[in-house]
Amino acid sequence: MTGERLLLSGDDAVALAALHAGVELGTGYPGTPSTEILETFDRLGGRAQWSPNEKVALEVGIGAAFAGARTIVTMKHVGLNVAADALFTATHTDVDGGLLVISADDPGMASSQNEQDNRHYARAAAAPMLEPMDSQQAYDFTWLGLELSERWKIPVLLRLTTRICHAKTVVRPRAARAPRAPEPFRRDIPARVMIPAYAKPAHQRLRQKLAEMAAWNEAEGPLLQELNDRALGILSTGVSAVHAREAAPEASHLSIGLTYPLPFERIRAFAAEVERLVVIEEGDPLLVESLRAAGIPAEGKPEMYRFGELNVARVRRILAGDTSPEPVPPPGKPPELCQGCSHRVVFEALRDLGCIVAGDIGCYTLGVLPPFSAMDTCVCMGASIGVGLGLRHVLPEAEARRVVSVIGDSTFVHSGLTGIAEMVYNPPPTGHVVLILDNGTTAMTGQQEHPGTGRLLDHSPTNQLNFEGAACAMGVQNVHVIEARDKDDSLRELLSEALGRNETTLIVARQPCVLAAPKIRFYEKAAAEQSEEI
């Protein structure tokens, strides 16, 4: 402790801890509610970079950790699905530098396409998981996660949720760690080359590491126990721990920080102290099922509380066994596309042309709402292209001809290129039309850079990925670039023409995001001035 007292969001607390703990590289892909971690880490002087997607971010992180550097990799919950391929085998390897993979879940889906509970990943990928209850623990567990990762040479998951990431609470930071001197490459083939001959013993080692970590968790893991009235004992994790303490201050409480592998004997001892044990956990009934499997009798929550965030009122209802319908708050004003947004022009055209629109993830998903109602599917990052092709393959010809895939620029870089490869390789008989809505930024998450903008996370210039060039090189038959403007029918005409051909077409509709445009001009001016000085 330095005696300093700060008011920080969970995201900012993680960034500050990463800086203090000597993290040498932070990678990730923007996604609410995780985005601010890398932005703050950069602002504080850390080395942070956006990757094209979460899988690449984690792969870069694994390389940095193999080279001995403390590394963080950030993403939202669905991002871990993309990075899962790397994670599931990375746990079998030995990392040298601490590798902390940060998953920010969105229970209640404030800004996400699903409500998945990433606690499942800990067990599935055999990755230890830490879950903080506030910004102080977010700070402490970032340190701890890196230390545990180095001690057992294993990637560690730090699972945050919206009310950790975007809640500000008081943090007392520690003194920063002295920087590490760079070390030469150390070859360790059996620990890092996962061919079956090495992966088989690696799996044995992985289970041994987890057994040792479980023992450590029993002996000195980050637990918070308060024995009060023994009539009711509450076991909780993450932000639920503070909801539970407020909802039932008279009860006995046990909250677990390292939630995989679990400290079953500590929980068993707590269970023995209380008459009634209730598990308060947000999302899936994962903890309560683990307890029951370990032979610890515990009450869970009624199914209705699986959906949405928990809060103090809902915890009170769970404890009272209240399953009566919950009061529904009056609906607020829904979000909408900004006035002057170029997406408006595009969705008006798609609506008026009667297109069947395979959509994607971003601001433009708002094209599904009135007055446009011009989107028919939205599944995951990049799915617009594959789903659009699937529709084209199967629908009657007259309808197949009206299918358009609509994808944003950042989403295209994230997961669209493989879709283009599919379109070129397996073109439907009617061809296909892909529309990239290139507004020059990752708009939805707060205007982050990506490889298509030609600027780095800190907005300084770098190489730029050229969409139209890539599409031509990949073999798309027709490639067009157009500015999406009001009072101009050229987009409609181009679309109509493309829909009439039995060929593959990619149209880049380019117009900077109205919110980002002034900043983009500022970055471009700064870059021009800098290059003049050189």
Q: Which of residues 235-274 bind other proteins (CB under 8 A)?
A: 239, 242-243, 245-246
Select from 50-58, 114-122, 226-234, 330-338 the region that touches other proteins (CB under 8 A).
330-338
DSSP codes, 178-197: PPPPP------HHHH--SHH
- Kindly write out the interface string for residues 366-385 of this chain, putting x where it contacts other proteins by CB under 8 A and - elsewhere: x-------------------
Q: Tell me which of 184, 331, 370, 396 binds other proteins, using CB under 8 A.
A: 331
Identify the CA nearest to 74 among candidates 112, 45, 100.
100
If binding is defined by CB under 8 A, does position 7 make contact with other proteins?
yes
Identify the CA nearest to 284 among candidates 124, 138, 97.
124
d(CA 463, CA 247): 53
φ/ψ region of 445 (left if φ > 0, alpha if ψ in -120 to 50, else beta) reads: alpha
Element (H, E) at 259: strand 258-260
CB count, 10 Å around CB of 226? 12
The least distance separating other proteins from the CB of residue 210, rounded to whole angstroms, comes to 32
If binding is defined by CB under 8 A, does position 131 make contact with other proteins?
no
Phi/psi for 296 (5° steps) reads: -105, 110
3-state secondary structure of 482: strand
If binding is defined by CB under 8 A, does position 325 make contact with other proteins?
no
d(CA 106, CA 28): 17
Residue 81 structure tokens = 């699905």
Q: Tell me which of 219, 231, 272, 313 binds other proteins, using CB under 8 A.
A: 313
The least distance separating other proteins from the CB of residue 385, rounded to whole angstroms, comes to 23
If binding is defined by CB under 8 A, does position 47 make contact with other proteins?
no
If binding is defined by CB under 8 A, does position 336 make contact with other proteins?
yes
Considering the complex, state which of residue 196 and residue 331 has its C-beta at the smaller distance from other proteins.
331
Select from 262-270, 384-392, 440-448, 473-481 the region that touches other proteins (CB under 8 A).
440-448
The least distance separating other proteins from the CB of residue 36, rounded to whole angstroms, comes to 9
If binding is defined by CB under 8 A, does position 330 make contact with other proteins?
yes
Element (H, E) at 99: strand 99-105
Q: Tell me which of 37, 62, 158, 167 binds other proteins, using CB under 8 A.
A: 167
If binding is defined by CB under 8 A, does position 168 make contact with other proteins?
yes
Considering the complex, state which of residue 171 and residue 435 has its C-beta at the smaller distance from other proteins.
171
User: What separation in angstroms does the CA of 12 have from each of 15, 257, 401, 467?
Assistant: 5, 19, 48, 34
Q: Tell me which of 334, 370, 396, 534 binds other proteins, using CB under 8 A.
A: 334
The least distance separating other proteins from the CB of residue 231, rounded to whole angstroms, comes to 20
Q: Which long-range contacts (CB under 8 A, 24 or more apart) does 445-451 make?
A: 445/30, 445/31, 445/32, 445/35, 446/30, 446/35, 447/513, 447/515, 447/516, 447/519, 448/30, 448/35, 448/39, 448/50, 448/410, 449/50, 450/50, 450/52, 450/409, 450/410, 450/413, 450/414, 451/52, 451/413
Identify the CA nearest to 451 among candidates 483, 442, 338, 81.
442
Considering the complex, state which of residue 308 and residue 461 has its C-beta at the smaller distance from other proteins.
308
If binding is defined by CB under 8 A, does position 513 make contact with other proteins?
no
- Kindly write out the interface string for residues 345-364 of this chain, putting x where it contacts other proteins by CB under 8 A and - elsewhere: ------------------x-
Considering the complex, state which of residue 290 and residue 445 has its C-beta at the smaller distance from other proteins.
445
Which residues are near other proteins by CB under 8 A?
7, 32-33, 108, 110-112, 134, 162-163, 166-170, 239, 242-243, 245-246, 311-313, 327, 329-338, 363, 366, 444-446
